[in-house]
Amino acid sequence: MTIVRESFYIDGTWVSATSGATLTVTTSGSGEPYATVPEGTVDEANRAVDAAAAAFTSWSRTTPAERAEFLQRIADQLAQRSDEIALTIAHEVGMPLALAKGIQVGLPTATFADNARRTRDFTWEEVVGNSLLVREPVGVVVAITPWNYPLHQIANKVAAALGAGCTVVLKPSEVAPINAFLLADIIDDVGLPHGVFNLITGVGSVVGEALVAHPRTDMVSFTGSTRAGKRVMQIAAEMVKRVSLELGGKSANVILPDADLSRAIPDGVFKCYLNSGQTCSALTRMVVPRSRLAEIEDLAVNAAANLAPADPVSGSSLLGPLVSAAQLQRVRDYITTGVNEGARLLCGGVTPPAGLENGYYVTPTIFSDVSNDMTIAREEIFGPVLCLIPYDTKEEAIAIANDSSYGLAGGVWAGTDEEALEVARQLRTGQVEINGGAFNVVAPFGGYKQSGVGRELGQYGFEEFLEVKAIQRP
């Protein structure tokens, strides 16, 4: 049965869409229709911003304790509805249920709870000399979010903005929007004041651009492609609006010669393939010592073989399909390009996995003898495609890792943490994990170069939504 959502959440109520046009969401495992959502118009986008602007004065004057209470209640309801939300995202995005509950729902739940604590405990004022420094909310925030970790990216923006005292208009990706409607249901249930949170769906070229261009929008927080991020920045620059961008990545995973390959290589393959490679911070370039290339190739192929894809809802694999037919074709085109440019295909390719001809599945793919000037090493593929790039010296490995227009994430494996840390300090990227270090939901996330501007999560993500006022006293 297809899910049908016919209304937008504007000014504290569900408002029927006016155009009658809809957008279809498919289920990644089969390609069949899963849901429809309304396609918003410029007028509806403007109405959502106006509602947020009208609500800002009263919301910004609430106490931090009041705002923290709302955030905690949202976190509690996300936890209570985690099974339902995880199933929704498994259908929309294709992340297997075994992972979706912990990652796609667990991370946003933790983020709302962290921002509740942060709002309550934050130092809102301090004295510097004869000045009183006051942190104040930036104003009306437009949050435009992607489909790959849809609720996680929503929470990164919405939780921090609400805690800071901002009001929000959310435009989720039309590819995976149903989880955003579930969040709006929860926000309505907890009784957030009218206009503080607003939800509208539609295409970026219409609704997204209208939200960014609206004169009452004070800040845009965008996660998506670098191309779209540049467009957001261009529009926002016309009115000198604050912009926070979390964009693409082509992250390098540097394997040093003395690393424990039995741990490093399977970990690196999984970090590349998580969410079927649809992760902006995926470690898609494995920079490996040429002297151990054959050994690494065998370990990588074996690790990929253990991640055979399966249906994300009914299957037991940790690897599911891609999100859409368009994404499937994009990844296949990149695989073909890799072969044509001379990379050596170790496993995978464009042929769909046996028995999974329906849906958007790609066989886990590994290329070796990749040079860093090849297309598959330069451009973000967003699929389960790993590039093995050999090097001869540590200095060359660092140079290869840094030779990218992106700088979002990275990894280093070495015989000791001290050696890994020494290399990590030289990587021009926003996050680096060493020897398999785990993702930290309260550490700042964001990139160098064309991977973005600003940070999300934790203290630094919270402060993105604040202005600093200096009041000089006699």
**Tokens 């973000």, residue located:** 380
DSSP letters of 246-291?
A: E-----EEEE-TTS-HHHHHHHHHHHHHGGGG--TT---EEEEEGG
- Identify which of 36, 46, 110, 112 has the alpha carbon closest to the alpha carbon of residue 73: 112
Mean local confidence (pLDDT), 89-98? 96
Residue of 246, 297, 380, 433 with catalytic role: 246
> Which pLDDT belongs to residue 213?
98
Catalytic annotation present for 272: no
Q: Residues 330-352: pLDDT tens digits? A: 999 999 999 999 999 999 999 99
Computed over every residue of the chain, the mean pLDDT equals: 97
Which of 296, 289, 295, 297 is CA-nearest to residue 392?
A: 289
- The pLDDT score that the predictor gives to residue 305 is 96
Task: Report whether CATH 3.40.309.10 matches the domain 252-442.
Answer: yes
Closest among 442, 447, 440, 469 to 159, alpha carbons compared? 442
- Percentages helix, strand, coil for the chain (3-state, rounded to 5) are 40, 20, 35
pLDDT tens column, 50-78 = 999 999 999 999 999 999 999 999 999 99
- The architecture in CATH of the region 3-247+451-472 reads 3-Layer(aba) Sandwich (3.40)
Give the tokens for residue 172.
Answer: 């989720």
pTM: 0.96
The length of the chain, given as a count of residues: 474
pLDDT tens, residue by residue, 258-307: 999 999 999 999 999 999 999 999 999 999 999 999 999 999 999 999 99
pLDDT computed for residue 1 by the predictor: 74
Could you give the percent of the chain with pLDDT greater than 70? 100
User: Token pair of 447, please?
Assistant: 């990139």
Would you call 387 a catalytic residue per the annotation? no
What is the reported pLDDT for 2? Answer: 92
- Is pLDDT of 216 > 90? yes
Query: How many alpha carbons fall within 13 Å on the CB side of residue 351?
Result: 6
Beta bridge partners of 133: 126, 470
**Do the Cβ atoms of 178 and 104 come closer than 8 Å?**
no
| d(C-alpha 350, C-alpha 384), whole Å | 11
Q: What is the pLDDT of residue 286?
A: 98
Q: Which of 44, 166, 174, 280 is catalytic?
A: 280
In sequence order, which residues have a C-beta less than 8 Å from that of residue 396 and are 6 or more positions away? none
Provide the residue ranges of all domains of the chain, joining segments of one domain with +: 3-247+451-472, 252-442
